A and B are shown apart, each in its own frame.
Chain A
């Protein structure tokens, strides 16, 4: 059958089960948009390509499917870059299609030409330039395969305009994937699993340290089985929030720089660290030399390159987290032995709970906002965040019950992620309330996406924790630069309520604690448009406890009663 490259592209997307794409048109992708005009694939029009990429990413994180986005050549493609890098750092499966100038003029600095494959090489799992219409179908197939298998990640497919325009005789049955350099990991070394089981059986003070790999491998069930069987305490990374129920008594909350004291102390005293789907990031370990000093380490990860990268490991297990945990669980019986260990941890929990003080200015405490949001949603919501204090408070004070309900830019720390990600999440999971916990600085980085949410009648809620500061940077200036608040004052800001209204969203200002509950309830009842809550919070509240950069987990600052 004679089809244009662009038509083949859309057929291939349908074959991959794609029903929604996020995009922004332009000259080089005109053929694709022309084909989309009559397609059953739903196209969500963003307002900036960065927003488009984050929306596809939010959709992917919330649903577990591959997120798909489209941008035009040149500036369209380069605007995607931050979104691609964000997905890459957090191992999120995306396929990004970029338009490209026609093949005859590639390399001649044609209008809106950018070498997007060159640019994105270090921030993608793989990328392609499709040079012939004949290559469209198998490239799309490979792109989805690579993005979604093993350790997931973004794949860029650059599509020159003439390749999309030209018609060829398309035979879907002849599309083949040919990847001799790429094998999907199956199974695991059972000898290593047996060694892990032996270590678990003899440990006195085990801790599970779980991360994003548990979520991307859909292994929350298996993790829970392991933890509950042996009553092993679990701490999660920022990316691992929701991998283990937040309300379970075994959950120690987050570890690392802004982790709970009891999680970090448990790491310090542990004799066995069961690291699952994690990468020993510096924000987690602090000073690596003093991280888990008494512990033997079991490290389970799909990516062999992560094992031994930052710490030495006693039992490395390369494999799908889900399969490996099943293997371990099968070989473990139900015994509760760590009685003393639990007592120690309980003492820490009692002595060093997460806590915050009262406002000095009679303003709302930001931590209190998160607690209120939790009280009203109880883990049955998707929370996205921006970056900074808002993000850390969300991780500390919201108790995530389910995987894929906490969407945050962990690895790259991208301000401006939360709103577009919330849009993508709401499209993927319309059944759940979706709330972006935002900062007044970050929200201004992609606030234009409010227009997208209004256009598609998406009731996402943006809770701006408005401290009129680039709060996290201000906090570091306060702690490490003698309180010299260089360029972190954000008191010149728009009236967020009026701004929301100008976009056609609902804007509500919350300046007193008594109004908070009502405003949140009101926002949760809206069904047809976004709501922006401009919550005026304590200006100089800090995130505690805290491991100073390069410090040891055992030496945390703050968060104790004064």
Chain B
């Protein structure tokens, strides 16, 4: 069992996301992360799904997805050279005493502070899951009030000359 990242290219039509998620639910496959959006071609959307599975499960996932009429193409990019990113916003407790410390952490992770409240900050960070887990761990001691993640998006790298 390991994490697989699938890029599922689908028709940009109402209900397509439901078809995909219904299939995962019905067949008992577990979605770890899902992100969807239009592509460079407005008639096509791209769903990035992260799913746990062994080879057998992944074969079934792919074959079952291909049976959906609205699914045009599926690429398992897990073992391809690819860039994976996720955006996370974290609202963290921050009174004056600890602000400096938090700003330091934000700098180290090349994150950004996007809102400053009286007793809290909102931090935006983009990265792969390793980086995101790490910053979340570092901020935990201050007290995380709220956290939201976009889900992972991924892209295969271009050829090197």
Query: Which residues of A are interface residues toward B (Cβ below 8 A)?
Result: 117-118, 121-122, 125-126, 129, 146, 179-182, 303-305, 308-309
Contacts of A180 on B, CB cut-off 8 Å? 11, 72
Q: Whole-angstrom distance between the alpha carbons of A179 and B10 in the complex? A: 11
Min CB distance, A306 to chain B, in Å? 9
Min CB distance, A189 to chain B, in Å? 16
**B71/A304 in contact, CB under 8 A:** no
- Whose C-beta in chain B lies nearest to the C-beta of A118? B18
A-B interface, 6 closest residue pairs, ranked by CB to CB distance from nearest: A305-B63, A126-B69, A181-B72, A182-B69, A304-B63, A181-B71
Contacts of A304 on B, CB cut-off 8 Å? 63, 66
User: Is B161 positioned at the interface, with any CB of A under 8 Å from its CB?
Assistant: no
Assuming A181-B10, A305-B60, is B69 touching A122 (CB within 8 A)? no
Contacts of B69 on A, CB cut-off 8 Å? 125-126, 146, 179, 181-182
Q: Whole-angstrom distance between the alpha carbons of A130 and B18 in the complex? A: 17
**A305/B15 in contact, CB under 8 A:** no
| B interface majority secondary structure | helix
Q: Whole-angstrom distance between the alpha carbons of A126 and B70 in the complex? A: 9
* 8 more A-B residue pairs beyond the given contacts A122-B22, A122-B26, A179-B69, with a C-beta to C-beta distance below 8 A: A121-B22, A129-B14, A181-B10, A181-B72, A182-B69, A303-B67, A304-B66, A308-B60
User: Is B19 positioned at the interface, with any CB of A under 8 Å from its CB?
Assistant: yes
- Whose C-beta in chain A lies nearest to the C-beta of B25? A122
**A308/B68 in contact, CB under 8 A:** no
Q: Whole-angstrom distance between the alpha carbons of A146 and B69 in the complex? A: 8
**B24-71 interface with A by 8 A CB criterion:** 26, 56, 59-60, 63-64, 66-71
Contacts of A146 on B, CB cut-off 8 Å? 69
Query: Which residues of B are interface residues toward A (Cβ below 8 A)?
Result: 10-11, 14-15, 18-19, 22-23, 26, 56, 59-60, 63-64, 66-72
Contacts of B68 on A, CB cut-off 8 Å? 126, 181
In the complex, which of the residues A121, A129, A305 contacts B64, with contact meaning CB atoms closer than 8 Å?
A305
Assuming A181-B11, A303-B67, is B22 touching A309 (CB within 8 A)? no
**B60/A121 in contact, CB under 8 A:** no
Min CB distance, A155 to chain B, in Å? 9
Min CB distance, A36 to chain B, in Å? 28
Q: Whole-angstrom distance between the alpha carbons of A254 and B71 in the complex? A: 37
**B56/A308 in contact, CB under 8 A:** yes
Contacts of B18 on A, CB cut-off 8 Å? 118, 121
Give 5 pairs: A residue, B residue, CB < 8 Å, sorted on A.
A146-B69, A182-B69, A304-B66, A305-B60, A308-B60
Min CB distance, B118 to chain A, in Å? 42
Min CB distance, A313 to chain B, in Å? 12
Q: Whole-angstrom distance between the alpha carbons of A125 and B66 in the complex? A: 12
Contacts of B59 on A, CB cut-off 8 Å? 308
A-B contact count (CB 8 A): 38
- Whose C-beta in chain A lies nearest to the C-beta of B68? A181
Task: Pick from B15, B19, B66, B69 the residue with the most CB of A within 10 Å.
Answer: B69
Contacts of B14 on A, CB cut-off 8 Å? 129
- Whose C-beta in chain B lies nearest to the C-beta of A312? B56
Min CB distance, A280 to chain B, in Å? 13
Contacts of B15 on A, CB cut-off 8 Å? 117-118, 121
**B71/A121 in contact, CB under 8 A:** no
Contacts of A117 on B, CB cut-off 8 Å? 15
Min CB distance, B68 to chain A, in Å? 7
Q: Whole-angstrom distance between the alpha carbons of A129 and B10 in the complex? A: 18
**B70/A181 in contact, CB under 8 A:** yes
Contacts of A182 on B, CB cut-off 8 Å? 69
Min CB distance, B60 to chain A, in Å? 6
Q: Whole-angstrom distance between the alpha carbons of A121 and B68 in the complex? A: 10
Min CB distance, A229 to chain B, in Å? 32
**B26/A305 in contact, CB under 8 A:** no
Contacts of B72 on A, CB cut-off 8 Å? 180-181
Contacts of A308 on B, CB cut-off 8 Å? 56, 59-60
Contacts of B63 on A, CB cut-off 8 Å? 304-305
Q: Whole-angstrom distance between the alpha carbons of A437 and B64 in the complex? A: 36
Contacts of A126 on B, CB cut-off 8 Å? 68-69
Min CB distance, A94 to chain B, in Å? 16
Contacts of B56 on A, CB cut-off 8 Å? 308
Q: Whole-angstrom distance between the alpha carbons of A125 and B14 in the complex? A: 17
Q: Whole-angstrom distance between the alpha carbons of A303 and B60 in the complex? A: 12
Q: Whole-angstrom distance between the alpha carbons of A534 and B26 in the complex? A: 41
Min CB distance, A55 to chain B, in Å? 26
Q: Whole-angstrom distance between the alpha carbons of A121 and B14 in the complex? A: 13
Min CB distance, A19 to chain B, in Å? 27
Contacts of A125 on B, CB cut-off 8 Å? 69
Q: Whole-angstrom distance between the alpha carbons of A122 and B26 in the complex? A: 8
Min CB distance, A182 to chain B, in Å? 5
Q: Whole-angstrom distance between the alpha carbons of A130 and B19 in the complex? A: 17
Min CB distance, A178 to chain B, in Å? 10
**B70/A309 in contact, CB under 8 A:** no
- Whose C-beta in chain B lies nearest to the C-beta of A307? B63
- Whose C-beta in chain B lies nearest to the C-beta of A183? B66
Contacts of B10 on A, CB cut-off 8 Å? 181
Contacts of B64 on A, CB cut-off 8 Å? 305
Q: Whole-angstrom distance between the alpha carbons of A304 and B66 in the complex? A: 9
Task: Pick from A129, A179, A305 the residue with the most CB of B within 10 Å.
Answer: A305
Q: Whole-angstrom distance between the alpha carbons of A182 and B11 in the complex? A: 11
Q: Whole-angstrom distance between the alpha carbons of A117 and B15 in the complex? A: 9
Min CB distance, A208 to chain B, in Å? 25
Q: Whole-angstrom distance between the alpha carbons of A303 and B64 in the complex? A: 10
Q: Whole-angstrom distance between the alpha carbons of A433 and B69 in the complex? A: 38
Q: Whole-angstrom distance between the alpha carbons of A303 and B15 in the complex? A: 24
**A305/B19 in contact, CB under 8 A:** no
Task: Pick from A146, A179, A180, A308 the residue with the most CB of B within 10 Å.
Answer: A180
Contacts of B23 on A, CB cut-off 8 Å? 122
Contacts of A305 on B, CB cut-off 8 Å? 60, 63-64, 66-67
Contacts of A122 on B, CB cut-off 8 Å? 22-23, 26
Task: Pick from B15, B56, B60 the residue with the most CB of A within 10 Å.
Answer: B15
- Whose C-beta in chain A lies nearest to the C-beta of B14? A129
Q: Whole-angstrom distance between the alpha carbons of A309 and B62 in the complex? A: 12
Q: Whole-angstrom distance between the alpha carbons of A318 and B71 in the complex? A: 19
